[in-house]
Structure 1
Amino acid sequence: MIGDILPVNTLIIFALSMVGIIPVLAGFKFTDKSIDATLGFSGGVMVAVSFSMIYETGGGILQHLFFAVGFTAMWILEAIVPHEHMIKGYEGPVFFRQKLKMAWLIAFSMILHNIPEGLTVGSSTIIDQALGFSTAIAIGLQDIVEGFMAGLPYVIMGRRMSALLLSLLAASAEAGAALASGYIGTLYKGLDTILAGVSSGAMVFIVAHEIIPETHREHSSESTMGILLGVMAALLLEYYLG
């Protein structure tokens, strides 16, 4: 039953999101190359999961349309919602750049990224429980990366409590999206495939617009290898668990 597995999958992505902040709080140092590699891994997982979702839901013309809608919607949100990236810097309306504190800008960035991931977990669980479980594990693995990336700027500034609270907020947003899409999707026939297409398109946009440009600013071989490993990890998880 969806009611049995959805909370489990949600707990997986929430817990792994919080795991990511642990090494940062513990004071581990990360080189630029290691950050590129881990971000590449995150992007590889997101791409593999996205196209697996399209395949699992039939891949028809409407599904491709929903994919394009999700891609475009995230493109618009990235342009109008003020947010801050660790490497890329500020994005959004110029007016808000000096009006909002850095904490809010980073929080908005994490929420923008995490909600599509939560929607993917929730919708995949409705489509097929085994697919939902493998998707939750794959998304959870890349959430570890996002967790320490979210908290890293604060730890550098010596604000560990802010880093912990930001990770908690990001993890909660993703978990909330997973639960909402899962339970709402069971009430309305066909909504699961719509959510799957939209969330897949949104995640591919994030990889294309942010992860690849940020990690390949110097043609990083580490990021390229990370993408390969991320794709392989997600596909192997789906093969053995899905």
Structure 2
Amino acid sequence: MFYVLLAGMFTWFATGIGSLGVFLLKRPNPKFFSVSLGFSAGVMIAASFWSLLTPALEMAKNLTLPSFVSVGIGFVLGVLFLRLLDLMVPHLHLFSSKEETEGFKVSLNVSALVFLAITLHNIPEGLAVGVAFGSINQEGYLIQEVINLALGIGIQNIPEGLALGLTLKLSGMSKPKAFTLSFLSAVVEPIFALIGFGVVSYSFYFLPYSLSFAAGAMMFVTIEELLPEAQKAANTDYSSLGFGLGFLTMMFLDTYLS
């Protein structure tokens, strides 16, 4: 439990490190947003495959159902879970007008809506870390692989925190407030890391379902939010470049350093 909390705190504070950029940068080039958000998307897609779906398929071999069925069920439930939150929680994606607000209609300013959007995005990351820790020593799932997952998520949280902080600052918010809100947007990561760990600790039967659930949630966020935002910021070539860099970074962590 302590190490799960530590890993969740690491990914949260990585967001804080990126958020410090609001005190250093005035108005970044839109190309930066495209590359950084594309990088985050690449990391999340790669992590979904190597750190979550692959071990889930291995662990599901011990279940009654065919492994692809068990993993498919968890994956679909993860997508539906994030879709439900997407429909319910009021939020606004980066680079969108207030008229494009999603979720329940409430009277919130743009900064609060953007903050909620990024907070939603951080939920599956926390789940992934917690579930991965609960999977250690099951079917060869090792501590090094879990550390690599947390490291990859932490790395991609740095540019993500910077992007959110600068967006809040450009919307008219003071630097200290923009930093604070950007930092707090990832506080859900250690919370949901503990929740994910608690679920798989209750019964190892849930491991393949939980891993694939986290993968489905991460995939939904990436396709529905990160990639569209990355392409809105600047030329799509830059988001594609960032995606490739992020994917290769996570692939390196998962395959070479494991």
Task: Please indicate, yes or no, whether the TM-score normalized by the shorter chain is above 0.5.
Answer: yes
Structure 2: stretches of 5+ with no match in the other structure? 59-66, 137-142
| 2:200 counterpart residue number | 185
One-letter identity of the residue aligned with 2:162: F
User: For the residues of structure 2 that align with 1:158 and 1:76, how far apart are their CA atoms?
Assistant: 30
- Mapped pair 1:234 → 2:250: yes
Q: Deviations over 1:155-211 (max 9, x none)?
A: 221412221221232221111111222234212323333222112111111111122
Measure the CA separation in 2 of the matches of 1:22 and 1:9. Answer: 20
SS at the partner of 1:190? helix
Percent of residue pairs identical? 26
Counterpart of 1:18 in structure 2 is 16
Count matched residues: 238
Is the contact made by 2:22 and 2:179 (CA closer than 8 Å) also made in structure 1?
no
TM-score by length of 2: 0.84
Aligned-CA RMSD value? 2.0
Question: Which of the numbers 50, 72, 76 marks the counterpart of 1:68?
Answer: 76
Once residues 15 and 146 of structure 2 are traced to their aligned partners in structure 1, the CA distance between those partners, rounded to angstroms, is 17
TM-score scaled by structure 1? Answer: 0.89
Matches within 5 A, 1:71-110: 71-89=79-97, 90-93=100-103, 95-96=105-106, 99-110=107-118
Q: 2:161 aligned to 136, 144, 147, which one?
A: 147
Q: Are residues 23 and 56 of structure 1, via their aligned partners in 2, closer, same or farther at CA, if it must alter by over 3 Å?
A: same
Structure 1 residues not aligned, in runs of 5+: none
Alignment of 1:1-242 (within 5 A): 3=1, 5-52=3-50, 53-58=52-57, 60=67, 61-89=69-97, 90-93=100-103, 95-96=105-106, 99-128=107-136, 129-156=143-170, 157-217=172-232, 220-242=236-258
Deviation at 1:4, TM superposition (A): 5.2
Structure 1 residue ranges, 4+ long, deviating more than 4 angstroms after superposition: none
Contact 2:21-2:165 within 8 A present in 1 as well? no
Measure the CA separation in 2 of the matches of 1:134 and 1:4.
17
Larger deviation: 116-125 or 179-188?
179-188
